[in-house]
Amino acid sequence: MNNFAETSLKAEIKKAIKELNFENMTPIQAKTIPHLLSSNQDVIASAETGTGKTAAFGLPLIHLTNIEDKTPQTLILCPTRELCIQIARDLTNYSKFIKGLNIVAVYGGASIETQMKALRKGAHIVIGTPGRTKDLIKRKKLFVGNVKRLVLDEADEMLSMGFKEDIDKILSKTSQERQTLLFSATISGKIVDMKKQYLNTPLVISVAKTNKGADNVKHIYYIVQAKDRYEVLKRIADINPNIYGIVFCRTRRETKEVTNKLIHDGYNADAIHGDLSQAQREEVMGNFRKRRLQMLVATDVAARGLDVHSLTHVINYNLPDDSEIYIHRSGRTGRAGKSGISIAITHTRETGKIKAIERISGISFSRESVPSGKDICKKQLYALIDKIEKVEVDETQIEPFLPEIYNKLEWLDRERLIRHFVSAEFNRFLAYYKNAKDINTSEERSKSKKRTKEERRKTSFVNLYINIGTKNRLNPVRLMGLINKALGTKKAIVGKINIQKTFSFFEIEEDKINHLIKALRKENYDGMPLLVDISEEKSEGLSSSKQTFSNKRREKKDKRRKDRNSRNKTNSHRKLRKGRNEKK
């Protein structure tokens, strides 16, 4: 059974989830929903965030609710108010066509009076954080003695946050006949103990290999000194102009410090942490979901329950102590078939943690060099050009201003105009990275040079001649642009470039030459037809053709010098003879 239509869920529920474009069940839903609809057996399920676990337990709980009974029949406990609100929102959407069903969320950071008022009206399903739930039970505003189904969502995180005592007190007030459902992203020793204490011969559901990293996430780590962590974070953001990710910090204080630095340096970033009010938290998350923010800085606790799609990066400002937490963090990117990147900023003493994560999860890390200032400027410049190339132009809006603009800029030719424009947009990066130091460790710098040499040695290059040079305002960037445009890709490997006054030479991968030559011969450069051909030999990085041109120029110069010396010598002899004759 893989389709929601095949289940015995109520028609009203099927109608609601159809509107949400739910059709086929995820693996956790396919295993959980039929069981909960037909059995009171306890369940322990291993399910990562983003696998559809809320619907897995939520849909059956809605189906089983007796609308006539106004007392709480289902209690869902979760670690954070964000997750609490999200679950309540999802269940409300699933039950929109079921009249009279009341769902109430109770959590800290919001008015307890408002929540008590909602409970007085009658609540069939209550979703709460352990602290606020315990407080309401103590005040005798929430009665859980009639609860038939209890869900412990993100149970591993609730234990990590120290909610064990609160959970014990809450569960002591519920019926021993209840059905208990325990959902956890990771199955640790603490979860096994929890299972023994709270669950009775549960059905164990696991939809994927425990502690397995996502296949479509690339894992990278940089090794730098601790004082350079923030600089690395900035370079990661700068080398990825379209970054949309979460930065994980170890402490609330570090979260604030990193966020303040990013905002001060002009990045679209903000933070979520325990000191924010619920209204502030919702505002930050709203901005992040709408992509008004590119980077969200958070601790693991604050980020629990965040359901944000299409993240490009997860950045570990500090590696967590628990390898399973890293796996959980990295799983927030690379969802729905998309690829993602998980980056760890580490120092030399943390290589053991990297190896532990690889051993436990099957993840393979790639150790890379921190991007250089030159690499970043190149990437940003190309990103700017792509942006300008693809920008939508509203002719009707800008037409009235064009005559004055043309008049203002008429003294600039095409080349100067482009330089002025690019400089206006790009000077910040050029200025910041002009003298940027290499912040890789000495070991990594040595390895990077070795890797570069090996890559060049493995790549077979061919030297090409092209009939334009500095006289045509050609520079390496413009030459690269020509090559990329001709090949239709920016992934071609270009070797040495040597630009002369009226011609140039450059090296290109051997398997690209035929396509490139054919494409460039069809192009014009500032109205000049391009002539491109293979140089037959190379010597010391310079082509034989270049040497031939240089030798010919040198031969001509030598000949002119000899002719000039010969003429001067002849003239001197003539003057000397003339002087002698005059004396006689």
Residues 321 and 396 in one domain: no
User: What is the spatial distance between Cα 154 and Cα 81, in angstroms, rounded to a whole number?
Assistant: 12
Residues 23 and 132 in one domain: yes
- Residue 444 included in any domain: no
Q: pLDDT band at residue 449, thresholds of 50, 70 and 90?
A: low
Residue 196, pLDDT above cutoff 60: yes
Residues 14 and 161 in one domain: yes
Residues 498 and 510 in one domain: yes
The values of phi and psi at residue 151, to 5°, are -115, 130
Give tens-digit pLDDT for 72-110. 999 999 988 878 988 999 999 999 999 999 999 999 878
Of residues 439 and 255, the one with the higher pLDDT is 255
Give tens-digit pLDDT for 37-71. 999 999 998 876 667 889 999 999 999 999 999 89
Residues 164 and 192 in one domain: yes
Residues 254 and 362 in one domain: yes
pLDDT of residue 379: 84
pLDDT of residue 538: 47
267-270's contacts with Cβ under 8 Å and 24+ in sequence apart are 267/234, 267/237, 267/294, 267/295, 268/292, 268/293, 268/294, 268/295, 269/293, 269/294, 269/295, 269/296, 269/297, 270/296, 270/297
- Residue 561 included in any domain: no
Q: What is the CATH number of the domain that holds 127?
A: 3.40.50.300
Residues 147 and 223 in one domain: no
Give tens-digit pLDDT for 124-170. 999 999 999 999 999 999 999 999 999 999 888 788 778 889 999 99
Residue 544, pLDDT above cutoff 50: no
Query: Rounded mean pLDDT of 447-470?
Result: 72
- Residue 486 included in any domain: yes
Residues 21 and 64 in one domain: yes
Average pLDDT of the chain is: 83
Of residues 524 and 248, the one with the higher pLDDT is 248
| Closest to 65 (Cα-Cα) out of 12, 101, 89, 115 | 101
Q: pLDDT band at residue 550, thresholds of 50, 70 and 90?
A: very low
- Secondary structure letter of residue 400 according to DSSP: G
Contact 57, 90 (CB under 8 A): no
Model-wide pTM > 0.75: no
Q: Final residue of a domain: which of 372, 406, 423?
A: 372
User: What is the spatial distance between Cα 542 and Cα 538, in angstroms, rounded to a whole number?
Assistant: 6
State the greatest distance between any 2 C-alpha atoms of the chain, in Å, as a whole number. 144
Residues 335 and 484 in one domain: no
Rounded to 10 degrees, the C-alpha dihedral 319/325/328/334 comes to: 10
Structure tokens given for 55: 């619907």
Q: How many domains does the chain have?
A: 4
Query: Rounded mean pLDDT of 557-572?
Result: 64
pLDDT of residue 568: 65
| Closest to 281 (Cα-Cα) out of 86, 519, 553, 508 | 86
Give tens-digit pLDDT for 355-412. 888 887 788 999 998 988 888 888 888 888 888 888 888 888 888 898 898 898 888 8
Domain containing 466: what range? 459-545
Q: Final residue of a domain: which of 157, 186, 206?
A: 206
pLDDT of residue 49: 63
Q: What is the CATH number of the domain that holds 479?
A: 3.30.70.330
Contact 77, 133 (CB under 8 A): yes
Residues 305 and 258 in one domain: yes
Q: pLDDT band at residue 210, thresholds of 50, 70 and 90?
A: very low
